[in-house]
Amino acid sequence: MTDCVFCRIVARKNPADIEFEDDAVLAFKDNYPKAPVHVLIVPKRHIPSVMAMERGDAEILGRCFLAARALGEAKGFAERGYRLRVNCGPEGGQVVYHVHVHFLAGGRASGA
């Protein structure tokens, strides 16, 4: 089994509070929230980082943004808005090397 924590969540080997799922994407609550609503959106397929992204990964990352739209609508932020953040590499603050989109909502500027 992979030692990637987000692959383990996708495989239901690690616990997570799941907010959204489709065939390509899983979204679950961040366990150290930086905003009143903080959800991580991950592709089910392991892609380490935007810095490792290839042409064939474009669709699945687009699907992450469609999941963000669905979350925004489901959670009542379609009008109020939210912040989407992707950290890339060491100086970009990336800690987990399975690409993910932070969905931050519920406060002014929705987190740092």
Min CB(86)–Zn ion separation in Å: 15
Computed over its alpha carbons, how large is the radius of gyration of the chain?
13
Token reading at 53: 């992204």
Binding positions for Zn ion, 36-65, rule CB under 5 A: 46
Cα gap 55→2, rounded to integer Å? 24
Min CB(62)–ligand AMP separation in Å: 19
98 labelled catalytic = no
* Residue 67 identity (one-letter amino acid): A
The reply to whether 29 sits near Zn ion by the rule CB under 5 A is no
63: left (phi over 0), alpha (psi -120 to 50) or beta: alpha
Q: Which residues are CB-contacts of 35 (< 8 A; sequence separation ≥ 6)?
A: 83, 104, 105, 106, 107, 110, 111
Binding positions for Zn ion, 61-80, rule CB under 5 A: none
7 binds, among Zn ion, ligand AMP, none (CB under 5 to 8 A by kind): Zn ion
Q: Which positions lie near ligand AMP, rule CB under 6 A?
A: 5, 14, 16, 30-32, 40, 87, 93-96
* Catalytic residue of the set 38, 46, 98, 100: 100
For Zn ion, the binding residues (CB under 5 A) are 4, 6-7, 46, 98
Residue numbers annotated as active site = 100
